[in-house]
Structure 1
Amino acid sequence: MVVGPPVAEATGVTKRFGSTVALREAAISIGQGQTHALVGRNGAGKSTLVSILTGLQAPDEGAVSFGGEPAPRLADRDAWRQRVACVYQKSTIIPELTVAENLFLNRHEHGRNGLISWRTVRRKARELLDTWSVDVDVRVPAGELDVEQRQFVEIARALSFGARFIILDEPTAQLDGAAISRLFTRIKDLQQQGVTLLFISHHLQEIYEICDTVTVFRDARHILTSPVGELPRAELVAAMTGEAAAEAGGARRGPPAEAANVLELTGASLRGAYDDVSFRVRAGEIVGLAGAASSGRIEIAETVVGLRAATDGTVEVAGPQLRPGSVPAALKAGVGFVPQDRHQQGYVAQMSIADNGTLTIPDQLGRAGFIDGRRRDEFARSMIGKLAIKTPGPELPVSGLSGGNQQKVVMARALANDPKVLVLINPTAGIDVRSKEFLLGKVEEIAESGAGVLIASDELDDLRLCDRVLVVFQGRVVAEIPRGWHDHQLVASMEGVDLDG
């Protein structure tokens, strides 16, 4: 039973940016020791609320309190750090500095001679990580840490300021299944030690696994707050979307028996990543590559699109063999691609929607290396309509879009050359429920039009589309599972577990 004032509370919060209302009389109350979920579609107001709860912005109306006391002045950053910290989806760790330097950045103790005692810094860093059971060498550059280790270091750094309220923003977006399990174990340990967490995620199954309470925002407003165990999943989705959750559609018909192969890998190997991989994708077929992040599935997909060169074997698209490691050759052969990280690989943030969406087809937009702006914008308006991208026009920089609309721009670029094979890696990572449903529906449309689709993902909802799923474990295809699988069957296979053993 939660007693005492809320650890953090926002009441009647309104925030405007020009004519846009980002929050309208919004509220949230987070009890001591909870793991409290905050969910909602992109544009619901979650990010704005986080910026207000962390003191990065002041509300136009309403109030924020911690432990029943009014929030500090915005200028008093130390006071804010003692009350709340946020571990963002994009790491704030400085890769060139060591773990110890990151943990105590701008907080180094100086000796009598005025110089920093690095031995003391490293000792304090080890003590801090030991306190919170983080097994990382404090001497290594932070850039050598994996995503999971960086998150744990950021959590420890936040706790070192005295904060016992931590906001986790999409913490599982770049983690594989095993790392997610370890993160959830760590969250439960922190909760038992009196740490309160606000957990932001687009993956609803995670909410039911790890959280006590869930708050839903929609269209800049608070919609509901409920104990997780008392809120059926269909009602949660309805609260997020404003619509009743749709029943699952009928099974895909799949490709006709006579459909030709549009993608064929034969004996493909890449040292240290995968070995002797062979499979085919037919026109109109959706094939999944399932496996943990380190399984080799991502490297296989990146080989098909020319980002990696197989050391052995061949890749053929609609007949001809591709030149290994050549993106231009893959594009010319008719391969479209949605990469795993839209921020780093999918788009150029400050370029317009029109420029991003047409990066793969400059030859179709003009002659002699010159691009006809009118033709480019006409093409962009067409794709904005087909993919329901919410924007005032094609000239808007992609950085001005929500995550779901950014991913739609990446999809538009992948479809610009009318591909024979569409390759997608984690296509719905970090996007809201409605955008996810829309994009997966678009993938089905693309397959129905006759393209072959290869989806490399560990997200079960992505894989449900597939006519069959190839499971990759430790660099090898270990199973082929037809449509109609049960979650536990596929997950066990991905983790290398034999349920019949």
Structure 2
Amino acid sequence: MDQVKQQPPPALHAEGVVKRFGQTVALDGVRLTVRPGESHALVGRNGAGKSTLVGVVTGLHRPDEGTVEFGGAPAPAYGDTAAWQSRVACVYQKSMVVPDLTVAENLFLNNFQARGAGSGRLIRWGGLRRRAAELLAGYGVDVDPTLRAKELTVEQRQFVEIARALSFGARLIVLDEPTAQLDARGIQRLFTKLRELQAQGVAFLFISHHLQEVYELCTAVTVYRDARHVLSAQVADLSKDDLVAAMAGDAARSAGAWHAGKDSAALARSEPVLKAEGLALDGVFEPIDLEVRPGEVLGVAGAAASGTVALGEILVGMRAPTAGGVAVRGRYVRPGSVPDALDAGIGYIPEDRHLQGLVATRSVAENATLTVADQLGPWGTVLPSRTRAFARSMIEALDIRTTGPEQPVAGLSGGNQQKVVVARALARDPKALVAVRPTAGVDVKSKDSLLGVVRRVADEGGAAVIISDELDDLRVCDRVLALFHGRVVAVFGSGWSDRELVAAMEGVGERE
């Protein structure tokens, strides 16, 4: 009689989990099962409960109801840090390594004696470095253990964090938006490493707003909406439309619904709003000419190493070019001057809202009005009443979900934080808007809303530039320039296909 092969217990099983913060129900009886060797996506709009669930399954939050198990055994007691580390770890979008310590020191931080790297109060540094090299090599991580963490790329820091987690015995790794700061090649290298570790039985809980990555990497997906479990399914059995519908809970409108593809002949007859001639930055990108006319959204597509972000920073005055110049409606903009770019009518949505877009300790109102402080009171004063009134108008116009203008911006969801950044960019009623990866790290519905705002700037007679490697960002554009290694390799109208644009960004296809 054939014996039925018994399946190993799940790497993670959460059932009936409830978590409340005061009157707010952050998780309402959710469940999640991740199998050994599986890459399981957890998706949902901002506020769906994903971050709270991660806090519960990594021991940061104690659930009010429900159970959590690892490998068939109950989760450790709340507060037993060492026991939790031996079961699960989270690699966050924002790296948790200590930048001024070496890779080896980061790997054994707070655990030098237990790892055979020292005895008593003495640390044997040679032994520490050798043990670190063995550990990294064991997981196929090609990083010099003597380098300081700040010298590593984002991708290398992630590998170091994964290796550290595995060295404690954890067989479940939570990846929270791991690709947000990686270019296309970095993403592929990360995915290759994850697949190698999956083959060794390591399980991954993958949290991402990039649905294409879910289909590329993951075998299973769970959707949360409004703090509840909506569905769990095999990725191969679920279409993208059905996945988006489950996340949105209503008829989700795709970014492609925005009316890209203006009459090119009509655009050519109008004078450009934003113009750059011979713009170049030594060692980053070759001379580029671009013109953006009234009513037009221009896309600039390319991976991080292509020079696209640097181009955007030059357009808004954050960098000075080594050649060429920028003009808005015929007015020359002083190179490397943000105030002059603002005065000329250029608005800016930066790539990283945390580092460049927001003052986390300040309110929604203060963040939204940073660029118009000179308009909020007489003789250089700032009147709180005017600040609040201005902020309320922006909150209503952009549908920012907040308790009010005085709420600290740090308390908002990612999508609503990004809307505050957009509010600041629109505060001076810009003639030209430059947006760098405007939907990075936000949910599907917020993406649609944010791209609609960019489109509206153009529709009202201005011009917009979207700099991104996200295909959904670029679908709203009337034209797209593709850059590869600092050179424009292709120009597309609005009818491009995913395949040809990705090929151009990767340097495997050119079209002029």
Answer yes or no: same fold by TM over 0.5. Answer: yes
Among candidates 130, 146, 155, match of residue 139 of structure 1? 146
Among candidates 10, 15, 21, match of residue 11 of structure 1? 15
Q: Tell me: CA distance 1:237–1:112, structure 2 relative to 1, closer, same or farther (3 Å).
A: closer
1: CA distance between counterparts of 2:229 and 2:120?
55
2: CA distance between counterparts of 1:362 and 1:403?
25
After TM superposition, give the deviation of residue 63 of structure 1 in Å. Answer: 1.1
> Are 2:159 and 1:152 equivalent residues in the alignment?
yes
Amino acid corresponding to residue 46 of structure 2 in structure 1? N
Among candidates 412, 417, 421, match of residue 423 of structure 2? 412
1: CA distance between counterparts of 2:121 and 2:46?
48
Contact between 2:45 and 2:247, CA under 8 Å: does it hold in 1?
Answer: yes
Q: Which residue pairs with 1:428 in the alignment?
A: 439
Contact between 1:235 and 1:245, CA under 8 Å: does it hold in 2?
Answer: no
Among candidates 129, 132, 141, match of residue 125 of structure 1? 132
Q: Which residue pairs with 1:63 in the alignment?
A: 67
Q: Which residue pairs with 1:301 in the alignment?
A: 312
Contact between 2:261 and 2:494, CA under 8 Å: does it hold in 1?
Answer: no
Q: Give 3-state SS (helix, strand or coil) of 1:28's partner.
A: strand
After TM superposition, give the deviation of residue 67 of structure 1 in Å. Answer: 1.1
Identity %: 58
2: CA distance between counterparts of 1:112 and 1:386?
62
Q: Which residue pairs with 1:280 in the alignment?
A: 291
2: CA distance between counterparts of 1:310 and 1:433?
35
Task: Describe how 1:183-222 pairs up with structure 2 within 5 A.
Answer: 183-222=190-229
With normalisation by structure 2, the TM-score equals 0.95
Contact between 1:363 and 1:369, CA under 8 Å: does it hold in 2?
Answer: yes
Q: Give 3-state SS (helix, strand or coil) of 1:130's partner.
A: helix
Amino acid corresponding to residue 54 of structure 1 in structure 2? T
Q: Which residue pairs with 1:469 in the alignment?
A: 480
2: CA distance between counterparts of 1:231 and 1:244?
17
Amino acid corresponding to residue 371 of structure 2 in structure 1? T
Among candidates 5, 19, 26, match of residue 22 of structure 1? 26
Among candidates 244, 247, 258, match of residue 240 of structure 1? 247
Q: Which residue pairs with 2:410 in the alignment?
A: 399
**Which 10-residue stretch deviates more, 34-43 or 235-244?**
235-244
Over the aligned positions, Cα root-mean-square deviation in angstroms equals 1.4
Superposed CA deviations along residues 87-135 of structure 1, whole A, max 9, x for unmatched, are 0011001101011110110111365674211111110111111011111
- Structure 2 unaligned regions, length at least 5: none
Among candidates 450, 460, 470, match of residue 459 of structure 1? 470
**Which 10-residue stretch deviates more, 135-144 or 406-415?**
135-144
Q: Which residue pairs with 1:325 in the alignment?
A: 336
Aligned length: 500
Q: Give 3-state SS (helix, strand or coil) of 1:439's partner.
A: helix
> Are 2:53 and 1:46 equivalent residues in the alignment?
no
Amino acid corresponding to residue 379 of structure 1 in structure 2? F
Q: Which residue pairs with 1:381 in the alignment?
A: 392
2: CA distance between counterparts of 1:273 and 1:244?
42
Q: Tell me: CA distance 1:284–1:66, structure 2 relative to 1, closer, same or farther (3 Å).
A: same
Q: Which residue pairs with 1:315 in the alignment?
A: 326
Among candidates 254, 262, 267, match of residue 262 of structure 2? 254
Contact between 1:3 and 1:32, CA under 8 Å: does it hold in 2?
Answer: no
2: CA distance between counterparts of 1:48 and 1:420?
40
2: CA distance between counterparts of 1:218 and 1:81?
29
**Which 10-residue stretch deviates more, 239-248 or 363-372?**
239-248
After TM superposition, give the deviation of residue 312 of structure 1 in Å. Answer: 1.1
2: CA distance between counterparts of 1:250 and 1:56?
41
> Are 2:280 and 1:269 equivalent residues in the alignment?
yes
1: CA distance between counterparts of 2:229 and 2:253?
23
Task: Describe how 1:353-364 pairs up with structure 2 within 5 A.
Answer: 353-364=364-375
Among candidates 338, 341, 344, match of residue 355 of structure 2? 344
2: CA distance between counterparts of 1:481 and 1:223?
39
Amino acid corresponding to residue 167 of structure 2 in structure 1? S
Contact between 1:33 and 1:196, CA under 8 Å: does it hold in 2?
Answer: yes
1: CA distance between counterparts of 2:498 and 2:370?
38
> Are 2:235 and 1:231 equivalent residues in the alignment?
no
> Are 2:189 and 1:178 equivalent residues in the alignment?
no
2: CA distance between counterparts of 1:445 and 1:475?
29
Superposed CA deviations along residues 1-23 of structure 1, whole A, max 9, x for unmatched, are 98122111111111111111000
Contact between 2:281 and 2:322, CA under 8 Å: does it hold in 1?
Answer: yes
After TM superposition, give the deviation of residue 250 of structure 1 in Å. Answer: 6.7
2: CA distance between counterparts of 1:423 and 1:238?
30
Contact between 2:15 and 2:66, CA under 8 Å: does it hold in 1?
Answer: yes
> Are 2:377 and 1:366 equivalent residues in the alignment?
yes
Q: Give 3-state SS (helix, strand or coil) of 2:379's partner.
A: coil
2: CA distance between counterparts of 1:253 and 1:181?
31
Superposed CA deviations along residues 271-327 of structure 1, whole A, max 9, x for unmatched, are 221121111111111001111101001000100101100011111111111111000
After TM superposition, give the deviation of residue 42 of structure 1 in Å. Answer: 0.5
**Which 10-residue stretch deviates more, 490-499 or 404-413?**
490-499
Q: Give 3-state SS (helix, strand or coil) of 1:429's partner.
A: coil
> Are 2:77 and 1:73 equivalent residues in the alignment?
yes
Superposed CA deviations along residues 361-388 of structure 1, whole A, max 9, x for unmatched, are 1111112221111111111000000100
**Which 10-residue stretch deviates more, 454-463 or 240-249?**
240-249
Amino acid corresponding to residue 395 of structure 2 in structure 1? I
With normalisation by structure 1, the TM-score equals 0.97
Q: Tell me: CA distance 1:277–1:253, structure 2 relative to 1, closer, same or farther (3 Å).
A: closer
Contact between 1:338 and 1:410, CA under 8 Å: does it hold in 2?
Answer: yes
1: CA distance between counterparts of 2:323 and 2:161?
41
Q: Tell me: CA distance 1:220–1:76, structure 2 relative to 1, closer, same or farther (3 Å).
A: same
